[in-house]
Structure 1
């Protein structure tokens, strides 16, 4: 039995989702929802010969007609509109996939979380796109952490060292604003890396952050952020994000433990080693030798996802869709929950709060709403 899908938002990320949906045999794209006719028409052209979805201006309109009354709604709208769309879909009793970030506002994200938890009791599922969790490199590292192959995980370094020109920020009045972007380099470019960091290391305890606007002008948000994070496990991490690293370097997470270490760079497993693979007593270390990344990836048991054109979208999106389809079929929770996305958003806000207040902040205080009335800014 096919799962009927309505795609909400027909822009560039909507096209990415449409391409993924078409590749899943269990999914049937039955509706496109967007108040902008030109956006809908452009996506219809892209879909020509592969799907003939009904067209709607709003979720409400789609839900009111048999053609648009889908089983699953995919929200590919601007982040600030996720709150209204998610609540409407969940209240209608539908499954929902939400593009990341969950929202630009933590309080709104927590409203979605509460609605998703209530919906779970009725068998409705919700997930937030975190496609990099499904990259083979990320899966290998997460598996090694959970099985203890790295021993005690002691620390990590996560960095997103990218470049965005002044023209990028000048191209739209909404770019670089707190209201529409929710933040700068850390929120827009770094949130996926934050998600991986929390997936590998667990729940944060305390965050000390600094932000700056160092290479751009006429924007409200940061182009550079740096933070130190302590975790419940005792591990420490350095988090860094910038759009002021001309001409653009890589995004990476380096994980270190008492029995092994790994580095994921630009979604590739660049280094992997654990003590089990080395019989010598390496008292002074091996300085990056015995890299077994290739052997680890060769044994990776990931399902091969058939993709008509792998340049259209990240394969991680397809793998996450596979997980969500199976979750619906098996009545189990998806691999990525709305709460996971809330935690990533709370971590980003904690960095901004720490920078604004000039002191360390506790993660639980951010989640509890202690700082809800604080307007974050770039010092």
Structure 2
């Protein structure tokens, strides 16, 4: 069983952009975590990041070329996986089998067959006291916590619908900057899988278990990319609630992520991670024709951007909060808020969007989870319109 004594020796696999975010988070939590190793297939990339760590801490982490080399030398207590999505499960399973706790950057992988393998490995590891969690840092935003609590305690009445949009822009140079970007094999999809999966997770957290999906995807503003840059879907939930899901990397110059939750006695809007609007009917009931956006009660919750000791403008804020939950799960012997099973459900929902678009019909989420479409390849042309 992995020791839960703090600080935990920590290794980060992947020294790219998101790996640097994890380095920032780990170094911020210096009382709980000690960064002892970096892993990357590129020695130059690993050396460059190790130099940054040494400059900030005075200690240079060890460098390894693979997770196998890492665990063969001396498995750390916590392994963070921050590599291209299609490599996540393989590396995470090796770390779990070596006895480490594991934190995986979103999504948990791009392939449901591999995701199921991770779910099984995580169950076995949990019996030994290990914790495995998947990054979905926006669950820890104060705004998300407020809205989820309102859903859970019934303040919104019956939750009837949701609208989630991720209206971003990514240039052609972005997709051309790495061979893995925009590929089914390693990116697992486009705007929805890569940019929108956090918002999918929040939508499911707020509205419950999804039942069916109907979708369309297209490649509209980029060239030489296998995956979609625009996806639109309708999602039906087992509660009866309905939702609209939209994600794009073809919306120049890029707008803010927006998520609306609507119920019979209250509604809320989260925009750019802030609680922009919330209204809950009082005991006297609500106006027959509604308030048409009036009566914003958001100010009663105060500042929902509280920095928790971290500069709120930095990308690491949500990650630090999730690390706090991971560490609490380890020391308290409980599940983390983000379990592998919840990540599998989000991944299945994204894959159901792609399957629905390819087949041209509504798809059941449980059929996707059960493996009914495992043999269906997603390496097919999406609707491409010349720029």
Instruction: Tell me which moved more, 11-20 or 29-38.
Output: 29-38
Query: Shift of the alpha carbon at 1:58?
Result: 2.0
Counterpart check, 1:59 vs 2:67: yes
CA RMSD after TM alignment: 1.7
Which residue in the other structure is 2:325 paired with? 323
Counterpart check, 1:305 vs 2:324: no
CA distance in 2, matches of 1:173, 1:59: 21
Q: Which consecutive unaligned segments of at least 5 residues does structure 2 have?
A: 1-5
TM-score by length of 1: 0.94
Any conservation in 2 of the 1:20–1:313 contact (CA below 8 Å)? no
- How many residues align structurally? 373
Q: Secondary structure at the match of 1:285?
A: coil
CA distance in 1, matches of 2:306, 2:124: 31
Q: Secondary structure at the match of 2:289?
A: coil
**Relative to structure 1, is the Cα distance of residues 155 and 70 closer, same or farther in structure 2, using a 3 angstrom cutoff?**
same
Which residue in the other structure is 1:191 paired with? 197
CA distance in 2, matches of 1:114, 1:329: 22
Counterpart check, 1:273 vs 2:279: yes
Query: Shift of the alpha carbon at 1:131?
Result: 0.4
Any conservation in 2 of the 1:229–1:236 contact (CA below 8 Å)? yes
Which residue in the other structure is 1:10 paired with? 15
**Structure 1 segment 1-379 matched on structure 2, within 5 A:** 1-24=6-29, 25-47=31-53, 48-50=55-57, 51-65=59-73, 68-276=74-282, 279=284, 281-298=286-303, 305-307=308-310, 311-376=313-378, 377=380, 378-379=382-383
CA distance in 2, matches of 1:297, 1:113: 38
**Relative to structure 1, is the Cα distance of residues 147 and 64 closer, same or farther in structure 2, using a 3 angstrom cutoff?**
same
CA distance in 2, matches of 1:69, 1:165: 39
String of CA shifts for 1:324-343, please: whole Å, max 9, x gaps.
Answer: 11111111111110111111
CA distance in 2, matches of 1:184, 1:61: 32
Q: Which consecutive unaligned segments of at least 5 residues does structure 1 have?
A: none
Query: Shift of the alpha carbon at 1:71?
Result: 0.7
Any conservation in 1 of the 2:10–2:78 contact (CA below 8 Å)? yes
**Relative to structure 1, is the Cα distance of residues 167 and 7 closer, same or farther in structure 2, using a 3 angstrom cutoff?**
closer
CA distance in 2, matches of 1:331, 1:27: 18
Query: Shift of the alpha carbon at 1:303?
Result: 8.5
Query: Shift of the alpha carbon at 1:280?
Result: 6.0
Q: Secondary structure at the match of 1:120?
A: helix
Q: Secondary structure at the match of 1:305?
A: coil
TM-score by length of 2: 0.92
String of CA shifts for 1:340-376, please: whole Å, max 9, x gaps.
Answer: 1111111010010001001101010000000111123
Query: Shift of the alpha carbon at 1:44?
Result: 1.6
String of CA shifts for 1:108-164, please: whole Å, max 9, x gaps.
Answer: 112111111121111110000000101111111011101110000000001111112
**Relative to structure 1, is the Cα distance of residues 151 and 207 closer, same or farther in structure 2, using a 3 angstrom cutoff?**
same
